[in-house]
Structure 1
Amino acid sequence: MWARRSRAAQKHIGVDTLRLLLAVLITPGSGSANAGGIHLPPSIATAHPRITTVRSYTGY
Structure 2
Amino acid sequence: MSDSFSERLSQIDNRLQKLDEEKRLLVTERNEIMARQEIELAKHFNQLATPEAKVDLFISYFQS
TM-score (norm 1): 0.24
Which structure is higher in RCO with an 8 Å CA cutoff and minimum separation 6?
Answer: 1
The structure where strand makes up a greater share of residues is 1
TM-score (norm 2): 0.24
The structure where helix makes up a greater share of residues is 2
Tell which structure's C-alpha radius of gyration is larger.
Answer: 2
